[in-house]
Amino acid sequence: MYINCIHCGHKFDIGRSYDDYEGPVRCATCRGMLTIRTEDGSIRAVRSGISDSASIPAPRLASEESSQAPASQQAA
């Protein structure tokens, strides 16, 4: 599957592993970051940069598990 880079305009192949994917990819030509959303092997959205929703979650501290602090917040 080919992505049209917003930054440099080149097309680059991201392969079959991104047929159903949402998150960051890096352009092989200009190394610019794109955030893409694909579904069933077709492009649904391409944005420049890394979106907040696709960012990597912060690592959890293992010590939080047994501390007296309230349990981790969970969005209802």
Binding interface with Zn ion (CB under 5 A): 5, 7-8, 27, 29-30, 32
User: Cβ closer to Zn ion: 23 or 32?
Assistant: 32
Q: Is the Cβ–Cβ distance between 22 and 29 less than 8 Å?
A: no
Smallest gap, in angstroms, from Cβ of residue 68 to Zn ion? 50
Smallest gap, in angstroms, from Cβ of residue 51 to Zn ion? 17
- Distance, in Å, from the CA atom of 39 to the CA atom of 61, rounded to the nearest integer, reads 34
- Distance, in Å, from the CA atom of 48 to the CA atom of 26, rounded to the nearest integer, reads 10
User: Cβ closer to Zn ion: 13 or 64?
Assistant: 13
